[in-house]
A and B are shown apart, each in its own frame.
Chain A
Amino acid sequence: MPAKGGVMQPDRTLKAIALTLGYAFLYVPIACLMVFSFNDSALMTSWSGFSFRWYLELFNDRALLSAAFLSLKIAALTATAAVIIGTWSGYVLARMGRFRGFTLYIGMLSAPLVIPEVVLGISLLLLFVEMGQLLGWPQGNGMFTIWVGHVTLCVAYVAIVIQSRIRDLDRSLEEAALDLGASPTRVFFLITVPLIAPALLAAWLLAFTLSLDDVVIASFLSGPGYTTLPLEVFSRVRLGLKPEINALATLFILVVGIFVIVANRLQWRGEAK
């Protein structure tokens, strides 16, 4: 097509400009953070020499380490519960057709995706306070209350990921198993689950990182003695720069980055086959 060839040149320049600026915006801050985590000076403003000083301090920081341990525990418990409940609801959304209350169902499941986290935080806190008044349980906030808050947030993400994956599945396998007399539960565990296993793993990791990153919900639902990693980090950085946090951020971003890239390569190879 001649018309297309004629517009190719300016279009290509525009494309290069838009993508370069866009990705620079996304990545320059991360790069700065990483570079300055190796800065010898406590200031993030001028380079005074290469050092691993902040990494050493990080590994001797008791408060940060115990907060990290608590956060990893909560994140693992959250991800596991969120994948179970989220997959369940994703399956209902994708395979159960329309039922009474479908709109409410999908409304409740997708609201946590967008609703400001402060709303989730305060409303769950008030629930636990009222429950404590009425039932005498839970007594005070802690791991359990944070876990409930995080699961409620993450179920929404898991359900959306899983329902779209299940919709893309070829239905004939499930139908064949049903025709051969397998019960719907058996079909779900023997056919559907293995087919969506990669999506389940991705959803688990997504829920894990969401829980590991949450400040707002945890602020409302945490109690004394239950300082999660983001709470500890936030209380340090809200007042300014803390070089040991640069080191922490670098480690965090590297671990997550490598994980995501490897997962993507595997998936890409799987699809190319």
Chain B
Amino acid sequence: MKPMPAWSRRLLSRRLAILPPFLWMALFLLVPFLLVFKISFADLRFGIPPYTPLAQLEDYTLKLGLHLNAYYLLFTDSLYIATYLNSIKVAAVTTLCCALIGYPMAYYIAQSSPRARNLLLLAVVLPFWTSLLLRVYAWVGILRNDGLLNNFLLWLGVIDTPLEIYRTDLAVYIGLVYAYLPFFILPLYANLVKLDRRLLEAAYDLGARPFTAFFKVTLPLSLPGVIAGGMLVFIPTVGEYVIPEMLGGADTLMMGRIMWTEFFNNTDWPMAAAVTVVMVAILLVPLVIFQRNQLEQMNAGKGGGDAA
């Protein structure tokens, strides 16, 4: 056998190096999603699996069965439409609240001395390392009618009757902001800490007041960080299941919850698949923004994206 030339061997080993992780993600992320898309066009049936096949060969006839009933229901039933709108609203309000609380925190952490910065950042990351489920559970004990918050307010004499927060939308907002706040702070901090301070000083030298300097210099420059953090909050919140389930009422409509009910309680897999497809369709634009942002940050980093 003729030995391979060195350059083609290098090319081959390069391909081999790239391929395995690619295959894992393609097999366990891309292909499964295509299957969801396929099954969203199936019809419910009794048996294993509980949905009709897309194509069937019968008496030398290929029968294609594209059932649109799941989608028909999804686009006409007012309950489903209310669910999408509410999921988007909840995610948008959560993102806004995370921005209002998280921006000042990220801003002041970035302004601290390196030593204080390390500690403050650690305190933001620490909850992220501990169980989300258990931290959300902590809110149950605080927000219940006979919970710590109500007891405290009653004891202070601020209120006479307990506030109804637990099992309402307000409790869901509190839980979501609490759970996702670190996701907003971290990318924004990473952006703010790299900000060129000379630009701010130039603004001050030119007579800008701190307020103006912030809105004309700092805020626009930190926008990529805000977008990265905002997407890290907005996208998963749209499909969040655990937090609305634990803190929300029966009438807290969220897409993740509806999908869960269709799948586990009604065993209507085609319907659950169709809800998933609609969810991803809604998230497509935010996902593209997020990916772009990731790519830009990668290129901005040291080494750039130039070919080796």
Contacts and interface: CB of A to CB of B under 8 A. Distances in A.
Answer yes or no: are A and B bound together in one complex. yes
Nearest to B27: A127
Interface string A1-33: 101100100010011001101110111011011
Nearest to B105: A22
B133 A155 contact: no
A64 B141 CA distance: 21
Contact of B241 (A105, A108, A117, A124): A117
A211 B303 CA distance: 32
A260 B126 contact: yes
Contacts of A124: 28, 32
A252 interface: yes
Contacts of B21: 85-86, 88-89, 92, 109, 155, 159
B24 A253 contact: no
Interface in A249-273: 249, 252-253, 256-257, 260-261, 264, 268
Label chain B's interface by main secondary structure: helix
Nearest to B101: A22
A111 interface: yes
Contacts of A168: 301-302
A149 B25 CA distance: 11
A106 B134 contact: no
A218 to B, nearest CB: 11
Interface of B: 13-14, 17-18, 20-22, 24-26, 28-33, 35-36, 39, 49, 101-102, 104-105, 107-109, 111, 118, 120, 122-127, 129-135, 137-142, 144, 146-148, 151, 178, 181-182, 201, 204, 210, 231-232, 235-236, 238-242, 245-246, 256, 259-260, 263-264, 269, 272-273, 276, 279-280, 283, 287, 290-291, 294-295, 298, 301-303, 305-308
Interface of A: 1, 3-4, 7, 11, 14-15, 18-19, 21-23, 25-27, 29-30, 32-33, 36, 43-46, 85-86, 88-89, 92-99, 101, 103, 105-120, 122-124, 126-127, 129-130, 133, 148-149, 151-152, 155, 159, 163-164, 167-168, 171, 184, 206, 209, 212-213, 215-216, 219-220, 230, 233-234, 237-238, 240-241, 245-246, 248-249, 252-253, 256-257, 260-261, 264, 268
